[in-house]
């Protein structure tokens, strides 16, 4: 039998996880939505990191917005939350590694996370520290969902008979 304290704790975590799920869903939907209208620019943003040949960067850049939107929709609906959080965490680790790599190599680029990205113009400076902190915060949201994937108002919960 569950004590009153443990029931309150469980319900509290349901709301924390729900906020993490909806927050991460918003991140992916906004990021993907801002890029999906100009896939060529998204490809140029990936190419600016100078990690892949141009043709590979172009393909990655064209696919990335659709992956971000798909993750956002899955998280918004609360479907396959743990899987979506795991893929999100993997992407965020890749993004963080890319930003660190660009910073360490002295590249002057916009990360392209919520913009078309690419090379910065004269007089502009990259915001790498801010980009890393922001992405670490998003990674924390994904971590919460990996740890506690049960959330309120989710298809997963309906399918499991919890709501």
Statement: residue 107 has pLDDT above 80: yes
Report yes or no: 37 and 30 within 8 Å, Cβ to Cβ.
Answer: no
Q: Are 60 and 46 in contact (CB under 8 A)?
A: yes
Instruction: Identify which of 73, 94, 77, 62 has the alpha carbon closest to the alpha carbon of residue 29.
Output: 73
Please give the pLDDT value at position 11. 80
> 152 near 142, Cβ under 8 Å?
no
- Tell me: the pLDDT tens digits for 22-47? 999 999 999 999 999 999 999 999 99
Q: Whose CA is closest to 17, among 134, 135, 162?
A: 162
Q: Whole-prediction pTM value?
A: 0.90
CA 126, 128, 129, 135 dihedral sign is positive
Task: Look at residue 161 and tell me whether its pLDDT is greater than 70.
Answer: no
Alpha carbon distance 37, 21 (integer Å): 25
Place of tokens 């393909």: 59
């Amino acid at each position: 039998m569950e004590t009153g304290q443990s029931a309150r704790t469980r319900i509290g975590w349901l709301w924390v996880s729900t906020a993490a799920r909806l927050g991460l869903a918003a991140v992916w939907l906004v990021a993907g939505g801002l890029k999906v209208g100009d896939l060529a620019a998204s490809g140029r943003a990936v190419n600016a990191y100078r990690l892949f040949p141009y043709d590979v960067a172009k393909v990655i850049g064209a696919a990335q917005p659709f992956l971000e939107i798909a993750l956002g929709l899955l998280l918004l609906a609360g479907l396959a939350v743990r899987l979506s959080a795991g893929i999100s965490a993997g992407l965020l680790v890749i993004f963080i590694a890319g930003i660190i790599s660009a910073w360490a190599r002295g590249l002057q680029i916009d990360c392209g996370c919520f913009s078309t990205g690419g090379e910065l113009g004269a007089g502009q400076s990259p915001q790498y520290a801010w980009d890393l902190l922001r992405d670490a915060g998003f990674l924390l949201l994904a971590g919460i969902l990996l740890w506690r994937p049960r959330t309120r108002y989710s298809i997963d919960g309906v399918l499991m008979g919890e709501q």
